[in-house]
Every structure is written in structure tokens, then in C-alpha cells.
Amino acid sequence: MNSQTPRYVVAFGAIALLVAASLAAYDRWILRPALAIGAVDLSEIYRAKEAQFTQLLVATGSEQEREEALKMARAFSQRLPVALDELPRECGCLVVLRTAVIGGPHVLNLTPALRQKVGLP
């Protein structure tokens, strides 16, 4: 470093680098994840589970088989809220209903992930 370089120029350079690094970190870890949106078609999940449940009820003849179908429905109703809570943490994004989003290049379709979490094929 040149001995004639004023100290305030060095200090200004260090501050500028610190500010640039802070802005880059903010953009990487705060702003970009907040801009990511994941959409879930919850009505599709309900329709698929309802069809599965109806098929089981129609196909079953005994009371025990009907009880098993009701247990499956109860397990689904308990598993769905947990799965919906896990999605934002896993994708690092805001999760909204598909009907609330018109579209866009940065919208992730998380419906297949939710289907898997609640045990739908």
C-alpha cells in the first residue's frame, strides 16, 4: 500500500466491501427464499383421497373393513396438517393454495410432494 494513500480511502474501501458482502448475504439467505412460492392443489388431494375412501367403502362388505376405511380417513385428517406444515421448511419457500396463484415462472408445484406425504399414489 502506498504510504501517501489517505487512511479514509482505505477505511472507505473496507466499509464498501463490508456493505457489499452484507447485501449479498441478505439477498442470498433472506430475500430470494422469500420470493420463492410453492403452490399446492389441495382440492386435488381431497378429491383423490375421497375417491380412494369411497372405493374402499364400496368394495368392502364387512363391518371390520369399514372400520379400517374409517381409520384410514382419520389418519389422513391427522397427517394432512402435519404434511402442510413440513412443505415450507423443506422447500424454503412460501406455500399457498394453487387457486390463489395465477402463475409465473418461479412458482413451484408442490402437489406431488404433498400427495406422497399423505400416502396417495
Please determine, for residue 60, whether its predicted confidence score (pLDDT) is greater than 70. Answer: no
The answer to whether the beta carbons of residues 53 and 69 sit under 8 Å apart is yes
Q: What type of residue sits at position 2?
A: N
> To the nearest whole number, what is the mean pLDDT of the chain?
86
Q: Identify the pLDDT of residue 6.
A: 85
> Superfamily assignment of 36-117 in CATH?
Skp domain (3.30.910.20)
Q: What is the pLDDT of residue 2?
A: 56
Judged against a pLDDT cut of 80, whether residue 49 lies above it is answered with yes
- Nearest residue to 109 via CA among 89, 95, 121: 95
Query: Is it the case that residue 26 has pLDDT exceeding 70?
Result: yes
Instruction: Determine what percent of the chain falls in helix, strand and coil, rounding each to the nearest 5.
Output: 70, 10, 20
Domain range annotation of the chain:
1-35, 36-117
Mean pLDDT of 51-58: 84
CA-closest candidate to residue 107, choices 116, 118, 94:
94
